[in-house]
Amino acid sequence: MFADLPVPAEDKILGIARQFRADPRANKMNLSVGVYADTHGETIILDTVKEAETRLLTRQTTKTYVGLAGDMDFNQAMKEIVFGAENADNDLIQGVQAPGGSGSLRLIAELIGRNRPNSRLWFSTPTWPNHEALVGVGELSINYYPYFDATHNAVDFEGMKAALQQLGPDDVVVLHGCCHNPTGVNLTQAQWDEVITIAQQTGFFPFVDLAYQGFGDDLDTDAYSTRKLAASVAEMAVAASCSKNFGIYRERVGCALVKAQTAEHAQVAFKQLQKIGRGLYSMPPDHGAAVVSIIWHDAELRQQWFAELSAITERILTLRQSLAQQLHAKLGHGRFDFLAEHRGMFSLTGLSSEQVNQLRDQHAIYMVGDGRMNIAGLQETRISELADAIAAVVG
Ligand SMILES: Cc1ncc(COP(=O)(O)O)c(C=O)c1O
């Protein structure tokens, strides 16, 4: 069985994390993996999460299975977080708890692949490297639409629109709802409106990956595209993650949400998602979803979570501004000014893989080979050091 198994290629980003751990240099800096770190460089547990866990510990009386759809109070919470209070009772929308945003992506992809095997999948150029593996199920063909204009560090909006206008009802378009990974470049609300009009005209199926809601501007602004789509198109799906905005990465919490044309259709999709999950992992994990549910359904904890999340978001924005300013000052030009305009954890810096290697070898600074930097992994006290190193490698 195992004798002729080929050794798999190491995951690009996780491979860098392994290299980082093995690096003995005391001044090393990890800006590769997509995890938020505080001013001390630690990925701490939110106070609201700790409080919810304490309550859960005393309240929980059983560890029996929760059910195929997971915790329905959690699914309701996610419906409200993602689609807003205005959709709290909308029976066209149904959600199924899943293991992380990744598990949610997979559930929805399986639903599409099994029901419409001839669909064509469309990803942005570039996209999160794991998208193909998670979403490219069965016969679904994999295609790419233009997204990033590296010359201007902006969205190639004309290219994107031209590609989307060619699509039809057999096409499934994976859209980063906010905080595009890896580029950090996002559509404006006016541009989203145009994309949504194209979705209405062509009938393509919008499949929103919402992994960073609240990490860009705030929970509502970051959900603009998702909520506008829900109000405008007959059918769509959203893979939502709680890894980042609740900081519960390892608990594996997400929700696969569908918006259907009728309540009956939504119910059938809800049941199908559960059946698919049954065949993949049988039952979703409970702990993290219970934590999210406790926070969301307690008015005080919910407010505290809003405050904790917005402190994180504001800090990321400040880190972005400081780094852009320091680079501007050290280089004497605005090549990296765009860092302050980007949103979310990441920015594609435009550094070449050679420059990324120089940063690692000469300065112990780790980024992804394509030049993606995790701004949310940066410490205030080390911005100047990072700016010096970047200035040194770009010359
Ligand atoms: C674009 C994107 N989608 C989905 C995910 C999935 O997140 P998780 O499965 O950890 O919830 C990630 C995580 O890095 C991501 O970057």
34 CB near ligand 1 (under 6 Å): yes
Structural Rg of the chain based on CA atoms: 21
Q: What is the DSSP string of 284-353?
A: ---HHHHHHHHHHTSHHHHHHHHHHHHHHHHHHHHHHHHHHHHHHHHHSS-TTGGGGT--SSEEE----H
Instruction: Identify the active-site residue in 71, 156, 171, 209.
Output: 209
Per-residue model confidence as pLDDT tens for the chain (395 residues): 999 999 998 888 888 989 999 999 999 999 998 899 999 999 999 999 999 999 999 999 999 999 999 999 999 999 999 999 999 999 999 999 999 999 999 999 999 999 999 999 999 999 999 999 999 998 899 999 999 999 999 999 999 999 999 999 999 999 999 999 999 999 999 999 999 999 999 999 999 999 999 999 999 999 999 999 999 999 999 999 999 999 999 999 999 999 999 999 999 999 999 999 999 999 999 999 999 999 999 999 999 999 999 999 999 999 999 999 999 999 999 999 999 999 999 999 999 999 999 999 999 999 998 999 999 999 999 999 999 999 999 98
Which residues have a Cβ under 8 Å from the Cβ of 59 and sit 6 or more positions away?
Answer: none
Distance 217 CA to ligand 1 centre (A): 18
User: What is the position in ligand 1's atom list of the atom closest to the CA of 254?
Assistant: 11
Q: Please choose, from the candidates 134, 209, 133, 144, the residue with its C-alpha nearest in 3D space to the C-alpha of residue 171.
A: 144
In this structure, are residues 94 and 116 in contact, taking their beta carbons and an 8 Å threshold? no
Indicate which residue of 122, 223, 230, 244 is catalytic. Answer: 244
Show the domains of the chain with their CATH numbers.
12-45+306-394 (3.90.1150.10), 65-297 (3.40.640.10)
Check if 209 is active-site: yes
Judge contact between 240 and 267, C-beta under 8 A: no
Is 193 catalytic? The answer is no
For ligand 1, is residue 247 a contact (CB within 6 Å)? no
CA of residue 210 to ligand 1 center, whole Å: 8
For ligand 1, atom 3, name the residue with the nearest CA: 211
- Taking the CA of residue 134 as reference, the ligand 1 atom at the shortest distance is 4
From the list 147, 161, 156, the residue with the least C-alpha distance to 201 is 161
11 CA to centre of ligand 1 in angstroms: 14
Q: How far is CA 382 from CA 24, 43, 119, in A?
A: 18, 17, 47
Closest alpha carbon to 108 in 224, 202, 241, 225: 241
Output the CA 241–ligand 1 centroid distance in Å: 7
Pocket test for ligand 1, best of 178, 185, 209, 210 (most atoms within 8 A of CB): 209
Ramachandran region, residue 367 (left: φ > 0; alpha: ψ -120 to 50; beta: rest): beta
| Of 99, 70, 95, the residue nearest 83 (C-alpha) | 95
Whether 161 sits among the annotated catalytic residues: the reply is: no
SS3 state of residue 68: coil
17 CA to middle of ligand 1, Å?
16
Separation of alpha carbons 218 and 283, rounded Å:
32
The protein residue whose alpha carbon is closest to atom 12 in ligand 1 is 211
> Tell me, what's the pLDDT at 14?
86
The reply to whether 218 belongs to the active site is no
Rounded CA-CA distance 139/124 in Å is: 20
What is the model's pLDDT at position 12?
A: 82
Rounded to the nearest angstrom, the distance between the alpha carbon of 168 and the centre of ligand 1 is 27
| Tokens representing residue 304 in the block | 């505290």
For residues 335 and 317, give the distance between their C-alpha atoms in angstroms, rounded to a whole number: 18
- Cβ–ligand 1 distance for 251 under 6 Å, the answer no
Nearest atom in ligand 1 to 252's CA:
11
